Amino acid sequence: MDLKSRIRRRQRNDGSTRLVVDYDAINPAVHVEEPTGRGPVLERLLDYVDPVFDGDLPPDAYVFGPSGSGKSAIVTALFEQLRRVFSQTGSIIHTSTRVLTDDTPTFVYVDARGAASDFALYHAILDGLVEETVPEQGIGLESIRSRLQQALEPYDSSVLVAVDHVGEPETYDLAELAGRLAPTSDSLRWTAIGRGDPASIEADDLPPERIEVPAYERHALVDIVTERASNGLARRALQHEETRRLASWADGNAHDALAALFVAADRAAAADRSRIHNEDLTAGMDGIPRPSVPIGRVLALSDTRKVVLRALIDLDEDERESVDAATAAIAASEGVDLSESTVKRFLYELAEAGITERVSHPRSTREIGRPPSRVEPRIPALVFRQLYDLQSGG
């Protein structure tokens, strides 16, 4: 267990022996500083960024791999470290008009989920590049684009931007990203991270460098779960045999493994148990749809969309029988302050994005008109509920 976790454990300990000590530690959307079991990939990434140690930029790249393979974990950790290391080597002063460097690159990590418009994308990059705060409103797209260019042009500063989660339903894909970043500056290069297999992407859209992050091996997943459980749960809360069972079920997907662990732990805690029983684990695994939308994607939705989703997962089955019924029930829910049209539009949007699925009715005859469709969440609902309520409830 690392020091930070030990301290946190003490800090949160209110005397009772709680099963869940630290929800963050078993939260699939929270990454640890030192990813485990990714040695070869890390070496590959370090080879890729190697030019920066000579003051040059590497080419644009695409880092890809299946869901839950640790792409975000490793790239965030890498960029964080690079940023830290390089900011110590020289006194770098960033302002929007002047960037004084000793020609060491700057590293910026951008989550495309929060940068879904051109404006937001440029804003996120500029914000990671300069010290001062960058206005989010009141200035136009052109103005923020030229500010970014100015920040990069005059003094030969350079930046490597990691853009995570490209190619999701609501984020830019590789081609769109390249189209927006290429014209910006010669001193900007990007590393896109996504799930899409390069084989199914137009060759013209692929950057020169490709780095694969394969799914975790079983034993690596066991290590990860063990590590997370030891940081987030009471001692001996999870038996080794159960860890193996979980890892086997998750089939290389760390997100799903942790999501199931989260649900299992929460269930065991609710039943006032001191450790996770087999049935808790079974319930945990049953609570994760497969494939599941990553919880991070759900949490990255706008606040109002989360409000709607939060209400949706509490609805009874019959209230989800049609979009109309769900709309009415959600709009009437406590804490939802949106018109029916907006709720309905959101429900269609969420379905379009794959967060939920619309299942058309096996219509029983006689009825007139187009049949309605049932609304089914494709998210780790219990994880979302718990994290959402922890956050908003206090």
Partner DNA sequence: GATCCACGGGAATACACGGATG
Partner DNA sequence: CATCCGTGTATTCCCGTGGATC
| Residues at the site binding DNA, with contacts judged by CB under 7 A | 117, 119-120, 135-141, 302-305, 322-324, 337-342, 344-345, 348, 351-352, 358, 360, 363, 365, 368-373
CB 377, min distance to DNA, A: 16
d(CA 394, CA 378): 26
Residue 221 phi, psi (nearest 5): -65, -40
Closest approach, Cβ 349 to DNA, in A, equals: 8
CB of 193 to DNA, least distance (A): 21
Taking the least distance from each CB to DNA, the nearer of 225 and 323 is 323
Nearer to DNA, 67 or 96 (CB): 96
Strand partners, 61: 191, 209
d(CA 177, CA 173): 6
Give residues with Cβ within 8 angstroms of 182, minimum separation 6.
none
Nearer to DNA, 189 or 344 (CB): 344
> Which residue, 273 or 358, has its beta carbon nearer to DNA?
358
Shortest Å, Cβ 362 to DNA? 9
Beta-carbon contacts of 99 under 8 Å, excluding residues fewer than 6 positions away, are: 92, 93, 129, 130, 151, 152, 154, 155, 157
Residue type, 159: V
Q: Half-sphere exposure of residue 50, counting CA atoms within 13 Å on the CB side?
A: 6
**Minimum CB separation from DNA for residue 381, in Å?**
21
Please list the alpha-helical segments (H only) found in 276-380. 278-286, 295-299, 303-312, 323-331, 340-352
In the complex with DNA, the residue whose CB is nearer, 32 or 355, is: 355
Q: Which is nearer to DNA, 149 or 282 (CB)?
A: 149
Least Cβ distance, residue 233 to DNA (angstroms): 36
* Nearest distance in Å: CB 115, DNA: 8
User: What is the rounded end-to-end Cα distance, in angstroms, of the chain?
Assistant: 27
**Least distance from C-beta 303 to DNA, angstroms?**
7
Toward DNA, which CB reaches closer, 244 or 358? 358
Q: Which is nearer to DNA, 282 or 373 (CB)?
A: 373
- Angstrom distances, CA of residue 180 to CA of 123, 215, 292: 13, 30, 30
- List the one residue out of 77, 171, 53, 59 whose CA is nearest residue 121: 171
Distances (CA, A) of 116 to 106, 163, 177: 23, 11, 10
Residues 6 or more apart whose Cβ sits within 8 Å of residue 135:
none
